[in-house]
Amino acid sequence: MPNPLRGLTGKGQHASLATKPNTTRATLLAPERSSVISEGVVMTGNISAPGIIHVNGTLEGNIQASKIVVGERGRIHGKAHAQSISVSGKMHGEIVCCNLRVLAPGDIEGMTRCSQIELGEGASIEGDIHMSEPPDLPLLPH
């Protein structure tokens, strides 16, 4: 049976694993771009951005991104278009996405069009829900 401690050097809590140098090439993945509307911020206008947009404040307008996350204190009054949308706050308007998650205490009022939906206990949706193949979403610049 092989020794599971083989390769460890040192004593007590200062033990370290002796390793060979890594000669394989590593591929670094750049983090996805992220934008934030902070709590307390009230923004009026339309937003279109690549990557993720976190809404923790209030947006009066339309929003488009690859992913939209509406925090518990976040509010959107307008249209939201994204591949993935997660709502823990309030959304009043139209949602078009592939994947929609509504988590407590999330509340959506308006028309929703998506291919997958997850509604958590304590969350609510009021309005029309259209489930279909992934909707055509405009491509965003990267």
What are the residue boundaries of the structural domains of the chain, listed by start?
33-131
79: which 2 tokens?
């249209």
Q: Which residues contact 55 (CB under 8 A, 6 or more apart)?
A: 37, 63, 68, 69, 70, 71, 74, 75, 76, 89
3 confidence band (pLDDT: 50, 70, 90): very low
Total-model pTM: 0.74
Q: Which residues lie across from 114 on neighbouring strands?
A: 131
Highest mean pLDDT: which range of 31-35, 111-115, 138-142: 111-115
Minimum mean pLDDT range among 19-23, 58-62, 112-116, 118-122: 19-23
Amino acid 140: pLDDT: 55
pLDDT above 50 for 97: yes
Residue 33 pLDDT: 85
Judged against a pLDDT cut of 90, whether residue 134 lies above it is answered with: no
